A = this chain, B = another copy of it.
Amino acid sequence: MTNQTNTERQVILTGDRATGPLHLGHYVGSLKQRVSLQDEHDQTILVADMQGLTDNAHNPSKVSSSILNVVADYLAVGIDPRKTTVCLQSQLPALAELTMYYSNVVTVTRLERNPTVKSEIKSKGFERSLPAGFLTYPISQAADITAFNATLVPVGDDQLPMIEQTNEIVRKINSLAGKPVLKECKPLLSNASRLPSTDGKNKMSKSMGNTINLGATEKEISTAVRSMYTDPDHLKVEDPGKVEGNVVFTYLDAFHPDIKYVSQLKKHYQRGGLGDGTTKKILEECLQEVLKPIRERREKYLKDKAQLIDILRAGSEISREKTNDILLRVKSVFGLNLF
């Protein structure tokens, strides 16, 4: 783990499964961080369409229809393709080939022990019908990370086991090679705490209707804020209210530019006399302001799909060279460099 990202230029690999539009949770948890990282480091963002299919093969259009939306989301929040390489997983054959080679040095037992996979299997109800590709996706993620020679990987703390699995593979390959062929990577944990869903209960999920997408309309933002979970015991305006677990205040903390003002609001709410209608109105105004320019840029980008495709294509071409180079090195470890 490191927070000293400014000391030397790092190679960063990050990305998103292309399984739906990005939302405020992504904005707070990763997108804002990426926008600042792109100035200091060599950053690649992988649009993970193949990984998206590991639990969506029965409904592949969920993945394919998300790809350009996700790229538009990136550009809209300020990811600059001149600074950050944006590429498409399915355009990089080396990632699949590396996954095959790495699969031979990872046991099934080890995959089944992965805490992230275990909890995801449970939450997706996969116990009886787990697709092989889902069980093995930590290997595919290790392929993604190592194929770019990444040294720094931004993750949530629930993803730390993925970094561990990757570095285990790196050490096995290096040990087979008898020399350092691949680099170990470090996780970069976000300073931001995880943004709760608008209902305060669940993980954000499009199907639960408890997210605010980056492309949300004014009306969608308004509806989402009005239905937000607050303090269920705060029945009358004059009653004292709770700030902890009150999603409106969590969002104000995350998005309102005036920390002092939010702090005053909290005190007022806690001693009573501040209604949820008022706090929601303040939050709505703030979110409308944050999201308006993002939504407008997003729409503009989505009107020119050819440009989005060009950005992905160019990023994928650069990445194809990089990842093929690492693949050749790994194949050499296994003696497969005849021609």
Contact = CB atoms under 8 A, between A and B. Distances in A.
Question: In which size bucket is the chain A interface?
Answer: 35 or more
A52 B106 CA distance: 16
Contacts of A140: 100
A284 interface: no
Given A57-B176, A336-B49, A338-B67, A133 B109 contact: no
A335 B131 contact: no
A254 interface: no
Nearest to A172: B57
Interface stretch (A36-44, A88-96, A195-203, A224-232): A88-96
B101 A99 contact: no
Contacts of A335: 60-61, 63-65
Nearest to A173: B57
A3 interface: no
Given A96-B97, A129-B107, A90 B57 contact: no
A67 to B, nearest CB: 6
Given A96-B100, A103-B136, A132-B136, 9 more contacts: A50-B336, A53-B334, A61-B335, A64-B336, A90-B97, A103-B132, A103-B133, A104-B131, A313-B339
